[in-house]
Amino acid sequence: MAALVCVSDFERYAHEHLPKSARDYYFSGASGQQTLEENTAAFRRLRLRPRVLRDVSRVSTETTLLGRRIAFPICAAPTGIQRMAHPDGEIATAKALADLSSCMTLSWWSTTSIEDVARSAPGGVRWFQLHIDSSRETTVDLIRRAEKMGYEAIVLTVDMPMMGQRYDHIRNRFVLPRSLKFENFSKETASKFSETQSQGNPRMARRLQTMIDPTLNWDSVPWLISVTRLPIVLKGILTGKDAREAVERGVSGIWVSNHGARQLDGVPATIEVLSEIVHAVDGRAEIYLDGGIRHGTDVLKALALGARAVFVGRPILFGLAYKGADGVKQVMEILREEFRTAMALSGCTSLNDISRALVAHESYYWSKL
């Protein structure tokens, strides 16, 4: 087998080797998948404007997230049911990110418990992604478990009051594999999913839907802040107006995301709305971005437009499918080295050198032709 040298190579491997149900679950987007395509295409419409004759013999990719130092600004986004990609699942991801001194965000839909992930990678930087349950007591219990195990932020997903329409899931009558369960749910809830699996019920989404509170609103944010000592990051922001509201409600971070294009199809690519959100926040909170990151140059473009760090989801799954923790490390190391090279070739020796002047939309050059 030829060496895998870029994220696309790992993507092809995963597509060829994963079972169809897992492949379609991981790869699919919502409805007609317009936004899924745009997440990557939008990066290609941006051009880099490098400066030359700079001393780039030493290039540092270090930065901080909410005050915690990490080695490079590429982190793991929350992706559910990772043990469909590899038996070690979330534990493999946690080990890989800890070894590389970056941040992992554990999904609410994890097939490994909060506790087991933390024990597998002591000292690693970990955040916990949260949906507010229809039972506030259940929500607080999850937060307490995350606090106890050393997670450093709560990432509240705000773009999922109900499940998006995902055609491949419907066609495949997707259910959780019998050997797996959502390890952070209560025994009672887990048993209900077991019943769904044993009966071959294709309506697993309905069961999941009953667990997410559709009444979630802006008043829920101060409540969440009041019940935890951890900083709150809102994930799923796509407009400047919502970003301003979030900052006014006291959050520490804004995560620009369209849920991997799995919720509302037809929304913009995340990189397209980043500048608007940076302007609205005006330095009052850290800003992160996911969606469509496949190259180190994509990372550079996102940071130039104002993101503090980017988070990758599907590339983590591609690495898991290839070789577990080692596969995840390879994917992340490729992205890190591509990013470092892109910095050097653009005349940047630290993240402080990366500025808005480094990026232009392709239309900037049309009038020059």
Q: Which residues are catalytic?
A: 259
CA geometry: angle at 295 spanning 293 and 301, to 5°? 70
Residue 91 CA to residue 112 CA, distance in Å, equals 7
Residue 350 CA to residue 39 CA, distance in Å, equals 26
What b/e sequence results for 132-149 when a residue is b if at least 16 CB atoms lie within 10 Å of its CB, and e otherwise?
A: bbeeeebbeebbebbbeb
Residue 19 CA to residue 26 CA, distance in Å, equals 11
Tokens matching residue 90: 């979330």
Residue type, 243: A
User: Backbone dihedral region of 236: left (phi > 0), alpha (psi from -120 to 50 degrees) or beta?
Assistant: left
Q: Do 91 and 118 contact (CB within 8 A), yes or no?
A: no
Residues with Cβ within 8 Å of 30's Cβ and at least 6 positions away in sequence, in order, are 36, 164, 165, 166, 261, 262, 263, 264, 265
Residue type, 166: R
Strand residue runs (E) in the chain: 46-48, 63-65, 68-70, 74-76, 103-106, 125-130, 154-157, 232-237, 253-256, 286-290, 309-312, 359-361
